[in-house]
Amino acid sequence: MTPPATPRRRGLWLLPVAGLLGVGVAWLLSRGTPAEAPIRMLADGLGATVLGLAALPRINERLRPPWRLLAAVAGGWCAAEFALLVFEAAEVVDVPVGALGLDAFGDFVSDTSGGQVGVAVLAATALIACYGAVAFRSGGGSPDLVLVFAAVALALRPITGHMSQQAFGSVLAAAHALAAGLWFGLLVALALVLRGRGEWAAALPRYSALAGPLIAVVALTGVLNGLIRLGGIGGLVDTGYGRIMLAKTAVLLALAGLGWWWRRSWVPRAADHRVPAADSLRRALTETLVMALAFGLAATLGVTA
């Protein structure tokens, strides 16, 4: 059953705005970004949300994915991945998106590794959307199956990108993408699904215990990926990529500090049923908005040459 959209829960619609703000900051820092950066941000955010919804039973066995909502989010993810595939094809063919013909698009998806990877991601997201719809109609489904397909779809582009040319590059890229997706997506999923202070008391401590290691993996793999890409620390200030990476690192440090403060103030009180559900939702929304800003910066890094 899909949770009701309370006024505070409707604030989650600000997440794409925060992500676009991150893309805008990246544009200022690099003096221009690829046109597909906003679409990459949207696709990554929707994919992380699907991953988080499917992982809810791992946080609390009583939580089940809201299948109708999961199917809708996965459908949006599929549409974003298709748009991203079109932009990538136009870039390879070196024509404006509006001038991309069907023949050129067909050649791209059949003859290039990037096109074939994009088709695989598109197929995975479409399967997730269809499975979620069937699970909603039938009243049951396997969250673990969705979890596997969502993880593969999120990791497929990073592990076949520029980092795949480096030793252990694909491993670093996959760990970074999946840790970031789970860290962000699980908190969005909790904000979407949890309703009473009892549900927050049961789920939040488990998420908090997981969030610390996840942000550590995100930070470590992100720094290593960036330094490998730049060839050292010299490009951190001199290149647009390096400046975006510095901004992303600053946001991650702010999130780490916020998480430390939440673990001292919010989480213990919520676990003792002393925080109203509306207050927990407000704190979760605050953190996810900052996370979305980081996702906008990260999405721009992902499409920046």
Domains of the chain, earliest start first:
7-303 (1.20.1630)
How far, CA to CA in Å, does 150 sit from each of 45, 67, 122, 125, 181?
12, 14, 11, 7, 10
Report pLDDT digits (tens) over 99-112.
899 999 999 999 88
Q: Which amino acid is at 258?
A: L
No. of helices (H) and no. of strands (E), the chain: 13, 0
Determine the average pLDDT of the residues in 175-202.
94
Question: Are 147 and 55 in contact, with CB atoms under 8 Å apart?
Answer: yes
pLDDT confidence of residue 65? 92
Q: Give the mean pLDDT of the chain.
A: 89
Distance, in Å, from the CA atom of 33 to the CA atom of 37, rounded to the nearest integer, reads 7
**Average pLDDT rounded to a whole number, residues 16-42:** 90
Say what the pLDDT of residue 13 is.
87
Which distant-in-sequence residues (6+ apart) come within 8 Å of 240 by Cβ? 29, 30, 31, 32, 304
In the predicted structure, residue 286 carries a pLDDT above the cut 50: yes
- pLDDT for 2 equals 47
pLDDT of residue 1: 46
Give the C-alpha separation, 59 to 186, whole Å.
Answer: 9
Mean pLDDT score, 26-48: 89
Tell me, what's the pLDDT at 139?
Answer: 82
State yes or no: pLDDT of 44 exceeds 50.
Answer: yes
HSE of 218, CA atoms in CB hemisphere, 13 A: 27
Collect all residues with Cβ–Cβ distance below 8 Å to 291 and sequence separation of at least 6.
183, 184, 187, 255
For residue 95, pLDDT beyond 60: yes
Percent of the chain with pLDDT over 90: 67
CA-wise closest residue to 229 among 157, 296, 169, 154: 169
- Note whether 124 and 149 are within 8 A (CB): yes
Show Cβ contacts of residue 110 under 8 Å, excluding neighbours closer than 6 positions. 116
The two structure tokens encoding residue 299: 């999405």
pLDDT, residue 6, reads 53
